[in-house]
Amino acid sequence: MKKENKIEEFIHFFEQTIKYPQLTGAVLPSSKNLTKLITEKSNLKNVETIIELGPGSGVFTKSILGKIKKDTTFFVIEINKSFVEKLRDDFSELKIFHDSAENIKKCLKDLNLKTCDRIISGIPWTALDTKTQNKIIEEIYDSLSPNGLFVTFSYFPFNYLPQGKSFKKILEKYFSKVKESEIVSNIPPAFVYVCKK
């Protein structure tokens, strides 16, 4: 793993926000507090398979790699080629799919896998229309093992906008339990959803 230069990372991230505002959905990578919260809530000890969606510049990725067993299968799916190139440079041993989260099952199949235990997502849900939100959540649900967890975040107060509300409704439609965390400092402030299959 390469040593990070935070300023370069922030500039690169911001450039992607300007180029692809809908896909990037934030002006900066997630904060340390949000990274800590999302990885702790994911309860990563002793899991066999983990997928991260929308890793961006890799802040969650780095933390996940620091918490998992050596033999855990971990891969990421990122839609933006420029982030994919950065991730390949920084995490040379990591399996990285340059693809959309709409194709999780295809990525699992490529690795001869059917399901996974955890899916951690950085996708900017409130920037997506309801149809796309539903399509990706269905793909996530189908890809999780019976006791699997889906862990994601939402920006406050965007969760009160129509797209934030529709996202929560979709989570509640698919998952047996949907728990919200406290709000932590981030730009913008954010909280975590922990969803049990």
Ligand X SMILES: C[S@@+](CC[C@H](N)C(=O)[O-])C[C@H]1O[C@@H](n2cnc3c(N)ncnc32)[C@H](O)[C@@H]1O
Show Cβ contacts of residue 5 under 8 Å, excluding neighbours closer than 6 positions.
none
Nearer to ligand X, 35 or 72 (CB): 35
Nearer to ligand X, 88 or 177 (CB): 88
- Considering only 79, 96, 116, 119, the residue that binds ligand X (CB under 6 A) is 79
Q: Which value, to the nearest 10 degrees, does the dihedral of the CA atoms of residues 4, 31, 56, 177 take?
A: 140
x/- letters, 118..157, toward ligand X (CB under 6 A): ----xxx---------------------------------
Task: For the CB of residue 70, give the shortest distance to ligand X in the complex, in Å.
Answer: 23
Q: With contact defined as beta carbons under 8 Å apart, do 158 and 126 qualify?
A: yes
Task: For the CB of residue 8, give the shortest distance to ligand X in the complex, in Å.
Answer: 15
Return the range that interacts with ligand X (CB under 6 A); candidates 63-71, 75-83, 106-114, 162-170.
75-83
Token pair 């959803």: residue: 193
Residues 101-120 touching ligand X, rule: CB under 6 A, are 101
Q: Report the distance separating Cα 150 and Cα 178, nearest Å.
A: 9
Nearer to ligand X, 72 or 186 (CB): 186
Q: Report the distance separating Cα 167 and Cα 136, nearest Å.
A: 11
Quick check: 26 binds ligand X (CB under 6 A)? yes
- Considering only 37, 59, 68, 94, the residue that binds ligand X (CB under 6 A) is 59
Q: With contact defined as beta carbons under 8 Å apart, do 34 and 153 qualify?
A: yes
Distance (Å) of CA 110 to CA 105, 106, 113: 9, 6, 7
x/- letters, 28..47, toward ligand X (CB under 6 A): -xx-----------------
Nearer to ligand X, 101 or 151 (CB): 101
Nearer to ligand X, 47 or 51 (CB): 51
Of 124, 119, 134, 130, nearest in space to 42 by CA: 119
Instruction: Please report the beta strands in the chain, taking only residues with DSSP state E, as ranges in sequence order.
Output: 49-53, 73-78, 95-98, 116-121, 144-155, 177-180, 190-196
Give the interface with ligand X as residue ranges (CB under 6 A).
Answer: 23-26, 29-30, 53-56, 59-60, 77-80, 83, 100-101, 122-124
